[in-house]
Structure 1
Amino acid sequence: MDLHKENHPTSSTSTSTSTPTPKQNPTSKIPYNYWQINAPPSSIYHPSHASFSSSSKECPPFLLRTVLPPKDLITISTPNHLYKLDTWPEVVQRVRENKLADFQRTPADMWRYLEFCYNIKQEWKGGVKEFILTRRLKWEWPGPVVAKGTGFYEGCEERGDVKILWNDWPYGIDERIVHLVVWTKFELEDDPATGDLTDEARGEIDEYVKMTFGGKVPEEHIIWFKNWAHIKSVKAVEHFHVMLFDPDPEFVKEITNGDVPLGIIQTK
């Protein structure tokens, strides 16, 4: 079974998107205090917070209408309990149809994710790229990331050319689905004509995924994808995503070297 079967559009413009059309204009019904709907209790923007004040009633800079795409604005304005998590069959179908832009975080996670990214950009000179390379991957900074070998090869993780970590801010999916990110020091080649992976790169990734995860997780419980450039949240460091349905927690702990996603750490 091919772990990454999909229909490949001929250009990035044919990729599915959840951005509403002007005719629909659902954002016109967004509540005036939309930023409070999913504010975590620990935030000063939550009405029950001890430090909630008149200034807290103003929209935080990372949630302003002028900076949020319509899709994110709608998500933030949706009460978290109304959000429906994607099932495993829905995840598999979405990846196979290459409708990657339809993935989204739960409203509560989206709120915390946008705040996190905003704070990172304020605190780190090199922004998200510096944070990812130094704090999460512990790779070179500043300067170019240089691989010790070429492409995927036996022992590439041990030599530091590939690192598997949890997705810090996973999508709104069934809680039994483990969402990992495979970071590489080498380029995963895209076809400039389509913006999608070349057939050769896709084959190399597919073989790596089978070799790395296939022996521990049933093939029908594995799916992988690489986001199109225009929907990547981290554009400066090469990576692709792997989702596993209900894998052995010990295997996940081993493959990630005990990594813990930042989304969980931030809630403690």
Structure 2
Amino acid sequence: MPHEELPFWLVNVPRGQWPAECPDFLRDVGEKDRRLIGTPDSDYKRLSWQEVQEIIRLNRVDLFHRVPSDLRKYRQYTHKLIKEYGSILNFIVRERLHWPDLKQKGAPFEYPEDIKILYNDWPYGVDDKIIHLVIWTKFILEEDPVTGDLTIKARKEIDDFVNKTFRSRVKPENVIWFKNWASLKSVHAVEHFHVMLYNPDIAFLEEITNGDVPMAAKVA
């Protein structure tokens, strides 16, 4: 049967594992996710480092997508987490950040205790040489109430941190950061921004993430 005739929830699933009906975790997904999940992995093109840089330069982070089969797994996993923990937020704070509370110790980026660097558990469909990290913070990164974009002060604070933490150890041209718009955040109430590194040293990643392993790898 040609894949175009398949319902979206059967695409990328081996025929022997086809469910009789649409799984619960896919029933309420939006049209955008239905379209992506219904795309064969073989038709999906991963973004190059140059394309990633251009997307961030244009502030079009809505153009980042997961590989179709990864998006399906992400939806399945988060559906399970919400049942077990009540929300993705509860899982992140308890199991990933291990923070007893979100009370900050000092000013933004002043204390390491207010920051945690982890892998993005379910990274976007980008070149395999691109490593996607999430920098979680107990402090707020100020946004302009009119534009919703970061203030000049907050942008400088982040850039200074990225320079000190990443660009001092990785070629500057191989480091880029961005912050999702509020409407695109999958986890609210815990502040965070994203750093992408091109072909970084594995030992550096081990050090900077304290040996973290993304959930996608653990589930796989």
The TM-score bracket by the shorter chain reads over 0.9
| Aligned equivalents of 2:203, 2:141: Cα separation in 1 | 29
SS of residue matched to 1:86:
coil
Aligned residue runs from structure 1 range 119-198, under 5 A: 119-125=80-86, 127-140=87-100, 145-153=102-110, 156-157=111-112, 160-198=113-151
2:163: which partner in 1? 210
* Mapped partners of 1:205, 1:69: distance in 2: 32
Provide Cα deviations, 1:57-83, integer angstroms capped at 9, x if missing partner: 20012212xx22222111100001111
Match of 2:213 in 1: 260
Q: 2 CA distance for matches of 1:77 and 1:209?
A: 37
Q: Please report how far the alpha carbon of residue 236 of structure 1 lies from its aligned counterpart in structure 2 after TM superposition.
A: 1.9
Q: C-alpha displacement at 1:33, in angstroms?
A: 2.4
CA distance in 2, matches of 1:215, 1:196: 26
Q: Once the 2 structures are TM-superposed, how far is the Cα of residue 30 of structure 1 from its aligned partner?
A: 6.7
Q: TM-score, normalised by structure 1?
A: 0.78
**In structure 1, C-alpha distance between the alignment counterparts of 2:201 and 2:72, rounded to whole Å:** 30
Q: Deviations over 1:103-128 (max 9, x none)?
A: 00000100000001101111113x11
Q: Is this contact kept in 2: 1:30–1:74, CA < 8 A? A: no
Cα offset, 1:38, TM superposition: 2.3
Count how many residue pairs are aligned between Structure 1 and Structure 2.
218
**What is the aligned counterpart of 1:222 among 159, 175, 178?**
175
**2-structure distance, mates of 1:250, 1:131:** 27
The equivalent position to 1:38 in structure 2, one of 12, 15, 22, is: 12
Shift of the alpha carbon at 1:237?
Answer: 0.9
Alignment check: 8 A CA contact 1:38 1:111 kept = no
Give the structure 1 partner of residue 15 of structure 2: 47
CA deviation vs aligned residue, 1:141-171 (integer Å, no higher than 9, x gap)? xxx5101111112xx22xx210000000000
State whether residues 179 and 193 of structure 2, in contact with CA within 8 Å, keep that contact through their aligned partners in structure 1: yes
Contact 2:66-2:124 within 8 A present in 1 as well: yes
1:80 pairs with 2:33: no
Say whether residues 1:235 and 2:188 are aligned partners.
yes
State the one-letter code of the partner of 1:58. E
Which has the bigger relative contact order, CA under 8 A and spacing at least 6? 1
Q: How far apart are the structure 1 equivalents of 2:58 and 2:186?
A: 20
Shift of 1:32: 4.8
Is 1:109 the counterpart of 2:85 in the alignment? no
Name the SS of the counterpart of 2:70 in structure 1.
helix
Alignment partners' CA distance in 1, 2:70 and 2:81: 16
Counterpart-to-counterpart distance in 2, 1:219 and 1:102: 23
SS at match of 1:178: strand
Report the structure number with the largest CA radius of gyration: 1
Residue type of the alignment partner of 2:11? I
Q: Which residue of 2 aligns with 1:61?
A: 24
Cα separation, 2, equivalents of 1:194 and 1:110: 30
Counterpart position of 1:95: 56
Q: Which amino acid aligns with 1:48?
A: G
- Structure 2: which 5+ runs fail to align? none
Structure 1 residues not aligned, in runs of 5+: 1-28, 40-45
Q: Distance in 1 between matches of 2:20 and 2:128?
A: 33
